[in-house]
Chains A and B, each alone.
Chain A
Amino acid sequence: MSEPNERQRGHAQPARPEPPEPHAPMHPGAGLDVASLPTFGFGQRSPMWWATLGLIAIESTVFALTIMSYFYLRSHANVWPMTGMPPDLLWGSLNTVILVASMVPNQLAKKAAERMELGPVRLWMVVCLLFSIAFLVVRGLEFTALNTRWDSDAYGSVVWMLIGLHTTHLATDTYDSAVLTVLTFTGPFESKRFVDVSENAAYWYFVVLSWIPIYAVVYFGARY
């Protein structure tokens, strides 16, 4: 079938070496021995680290787009908030303090995991869980002090969307961490779970650090 094509081309082929015949690797040469390599690795050595990074990229985009929607709606409004009442500062600010403070046991859990010490991992995971309960309770109080409802107006809708999205992260990550904590006590335990603890802590940093711009937007975007 190559004939018509040769005619179309109509010019001599430049001399070029034929590619070598495809070879099937029937007779392998020397091998590259990997038997002594470890069975897991921390940080960016681990595929789990990259998957967590991907999840963070997705969710950062969601938060960023919601914040953009907030300012888009604000730029079209005459009065903002439309009810004239910004959210009360107390519970939101208290929760910001708790969330920032939770980074301490979180860091200790991460470091213990990377040293592969099961005892301290258990301890700091439990402390992290206590923090989780505290900020979930305070988050409940926060909802009562927003001074708007999701169905009041577009301002209320976007504020509830922002806080709702972040609360979903708090709740799901609390549950994930709880499951992982239980696993460290009951087994069956493999050392690669230390990587999971480390990545779980890395994701927690994202949940805390993404709260800071959301806090600024919800509480001060409605004031200034």
Chain B
Amino acid sequence: MTVRDAEQLEATWRDPPGFFGWFCAINHKTIAKRFMITTFVFFVLAGLLALAMRLQLAQPNGRVVGPDQYDQMFTMHGSTMMFLFAVPVMQAVAMYLVPLMIGARSVAFPRMNAFAWWIFTMGGIMLYVAYFLDIGPDAGWFAYVPLSGPQYSPGKRVDVWAQMITFTELAALMEAIVIICTILKMRAPGMTLNRMPLFVWTMLATSVMVLFAMPAVMLASTALICDRLVGTHFYNPGEGGDALLWQHLFWFFGHPEVYLIFIPPLGFMSSIIATFTRRPVVGYPAMVLALIATAFLAFGLWVHHMFATNLPELGKTFFTAASLMIAIPTAVQIFCWIATLGSGKINFKTPLLFVLAFFVILLAGGLTGLMLASVSLDVQLHDTFFVVAHLHYVLFGGGVFPLFGAFYYWFPKFTGRMLNERLGRWQFWLFFIGFNVTFFPMHILGLQGMTRRIYTYPEQMGWGGMNLTATVGAFMIAASVLLFIVNVLVSRRHGEPAGANPWGAGTLEWSMASPPPAGNFERVPVVHGRYPLWQPMQEPSHVTGLDNDDRVVLVTTVADALPDHRMALPTPSPWPFWSAVATTIFFIGSIVTPWAVVWGSVPVAIAATLWFWPKRAVAERRARVEVRP
């Protein structure tokens, strides 16, 4: 490949320049970077809400905010963290990394990927605009009926929540399809399923779960908004509806969702552990099978959120058993990592610190999970701060700690510069200690009977000391996140230059320059093992015969990744953006009037048609070079 070829490839795959070009961008790295930043902004916003809540609870009879504002705050905090941060951030990271890891020049549907990010962002903005207009949702992040129904929550607050669900789940479903198709059809030749990096496996498992989990919450929230706006009776017991139907549908989504947050970080872990122990992860087949088992079992757990309802005891026993059983595949993975760590040469860097924290924090969260899986104990602890402690231990340990590790690990690839190691260590220890100071006392508060979602408590309860401790911890976490932001802002300009492979890793994303060129691979690689960069070169080493002057990618077979055909991908277009605008008008309009479903569909149809309609010049050029199968 000559310099000229590389330049031509860059020109072919680059996003259009300028202000209008910004709205036409479809390169997966551009979109993924925007997506990561968007989710991180939501993480910070939800964190600020948490700080405000901790200030309110720091002392008995707190007067920082009133009960109505407090209700909105915990609902916004939970909804943002779950729907606008934890699940989408994993998809955002995957959108950047998956094509690089599998040797592809793009994702399979770049315009749909762009559309998903636009629609996600617009949904998140809608939620926060509503919050600042004092119509923020206030019925909790799982919006139980009858509280969230028309009788007890008049006004528009819960409608905003329900439409935010529609926005974010639509985006998540589209991203899942893009990820699945990319992984199954666009792997470089030779990357059989058996050689796929473990992170790619986790994203495949997660994305398949999304297809079956997310529809439940979309259906549930659509039924809720219909109850509220057009007088249906799904959840109205007075007319034959049933409030528990909401809980079933919500948790049929909600429990798998925990695993949508938790499984991708297992892939971060496997990537980071392999690199920093300088050896392949032990037990690749066991790791993959454990992932798939986890993804299956995750669908058999939802009722354990409903132990405090009047379900049949026998049914609860089944769900207790399933809840205990899911510990088995998780344990298999943990033992494989321990074996990897024990037999490798450990290189102690910040990413690995965050990964090691996983073992401590998630273990603690898992143990309290075992306690909650017991029906009798659950009935005692239901809706107390014990549950708040448990869920934060699981989500921080299983999600946020590995995610920060992943940022430290892949930041050099995203930007070409290293994050500062010293600041990284400070951040880690502040985060780790601050987290435990915040959430460990909540276990005890819960055991002492402090229920969640109370906006204040009287002095006589004796909860003041531990609540103050938790608030101090929350500020440590905030300081840690601030350090991270400083580190990112300073390092992206002044950090140490990273080069292609600063950690000596073995997977393909480290084979090209950092940041990667627009077309990812100057030569599409041919893969001969699980860690191609740790292997001596074998022939054939790369693919030839793909045009540099058009967006052509190689499509391969599903299991064996044999070359199958050369597909031309769509070019940059403003229509994903306009389609997202039209869809936003449709969704927000339908909160105001049901008729928006009718007139709102017209601009959506027009924008989607113009999106699909081929450009004559591009179609004619491609028709000239097409080869029929």
A contact residues vs B (CB 8 Å cutoff): 1-2, 4-5, 13-14, 16, 18-25, 28-42, 44-47, 50-51, 54-55, 57-59, 61-62, 65-66, 69, 72-73, 76-77, 82, 116, 150-158, 160-161, 175, 179, 183, 187-192
Contact B619 A30 (CB under 8 A): no
Select the residue from A1, A21, A58, A150 with max chain B CB neighbours within 10 A: A58
Contact B242 A73 (CB under 8 A): yes
Contact B564 A37 (CB under 8 A): yes
Given contacts A69-B234, A154-B236, are A47 and B629 in contact (CB under 8 A)? no
Contact B620 A188 (CB under 8 A): yes
A-B pairs, top 4 by smallest CB distance, nearest first, are A35-B545, A188-B619, A31-B544, A154-B240
B299 CB to nearest A CB, Å:
11
Stretch of B180-188, B392-400, B475-483 at the chain-chain interface: B180-188
Contact A38 B629 (CB under 8 A): yes
Give residues 264-284 of B contacting A (CB, 8 Å): 278-279
Pick 22 A–B contacts, CB within 8 A, sort by A: A13-B345, A19-B531, A22-B533, A22-B534, A32-B543, A34-B546, A34-B563, A41-B565, A47-B109, A47-B181, A47-B185, A54-B211, A58-B211, A58-B215, A62-B218, A65-B216, A116-B628, A154-B239, A154-B241, A183-B614, A190-B623, A192-B568
Contact A160 B232 (CB under 8 A): yes
Contact B542 A32 (CB under 8 A): yes
Q: Residue on B with the closest CB to A55? A: B177
> Among the listed B181, B626, B629, which residue makes an inter-chain contact with A42, where contact means beta carbons less than 8 Å apart?
B629
Contact A38 B278 (CB under 8 A): no
Chain A residues near B511: list those with CB within 8 A. 24-25
Cα–Cα, bound, A156→B359 (Å): 51
Give residues 207-221 of B contacting A (CB, 8 Å): 211-212, 214-216, 218-219
Chain B residues near A19: list those with CB within 8 A. 278-279, 506, 531, 534
B593 contacts A by Cβ under 8 Å: no
Given contacts A37-B563, A47-B108, are A31 and B240 in contact (CB under 8 A)? no
B540 contacts A by Cβ under 8 Å: yes
Given contacts A24-B511, A54-B211, A65-B219, are A38 and B565 in contact (CB under 8 A)? yes
Contact A150 B215 (CB under 8 A): no
Contact A61 B216 (CB under 8 A): yes
Cα–Cα, bound, A154→B240 (Å): 5
Chain A residues near B279: list those with CB within 8 A. 16, 19
State the majority secondary structure of interface residues on A: loop
> Among the listed B214, B545, B557, B623, which residue makes an inter-chain contact with A188, where contact means beta carbons less than 8 Å apart?
B623
Given contacts A34-B543, A73-B240, A150-B230, are A5 and B614 in contact (CB under 8 A)? no
Contact A62 B240 (CB under 8 A): no
Chain B residues near A23: list those with CB within 8 A. 533, 536-537
B327 CB to nearest A CB, Å:
27
A22 CB to nearest B CB, Å:
4
Cα–Cα, bound, A187→B620 (Å): 10
* 13 new A-B contacts at CB < 8 Å, known A45-B565, A154-B232, A188-B614: A14-B343, A21-B504, A22-B501, A22-B505, A34-B563, A38-B565, A39-B626, A41-B564, A58-B173, A65-B215, A154-B242, A161-B222, A183-B614
Chain A residues near B219: list those with CB within 8 A. 62, 65-66, 69
Cα–Cα, bound, A196→B186 (Å): 19
Cα–Cα, bound, A13→B279 (Å): 13
Chain B residues near A69: list those with CB within 8 A. 219, 223, 234, 245, 249
Chain B residues near A46: list those with CB within 8 A. 185, 555
Chain B residues near A22: list those with CB within 8 A. 501, 504-506, 510, 533-534
B446 contacts A by Cβ under 8 Å: no
Chain B residues near A34: list those with CB within 8 A. 543-546, 554, 563, 566
Contact A157 B176 (CB under 8 A): no
Cα–Cα, bound, A46→B545 (Å): 20
B258 contacts A by Cβ under 8 Å: no
Contact A72 B242 (CB under 8 A): yes
Cα–Cα, bound, A191→B543 (Å): 25
Contact A35 B177 (CB under 8 A): no
B349 contacts A by Cβ under 8 Å: yes
B538 contacts A by Cβ under 8 Å: yes
B616 contacts A by Cβ under 8 Å: yes
Chain B residues near A73: list those with CB within 8 A. 234, 240-242, 245
Contact with A along B119-161 (1 / 0, CB 8 A): 0000000000000000000000000000000000000000000
Stretch of B365-373, B488-496, B605-613 at the chain-chain interface: B605-613
Contact A82 B240 (CB under 8 A): yes
Chain A residues near B34: list those with CB within 8 A. none
A197 CB to nearest B CB, Å:
13
Chain B residues near A35: list those with CB within 8 A. 544-546
Chain B residues near A44: list those with CB within 8 A. 558
Chain B residues near A58: list those with CB within 8 A. 173, 211, 214-215
A97 CB to nearest B CB, Å:
28
B348 contacts A by Cβ under 8 Å: yes
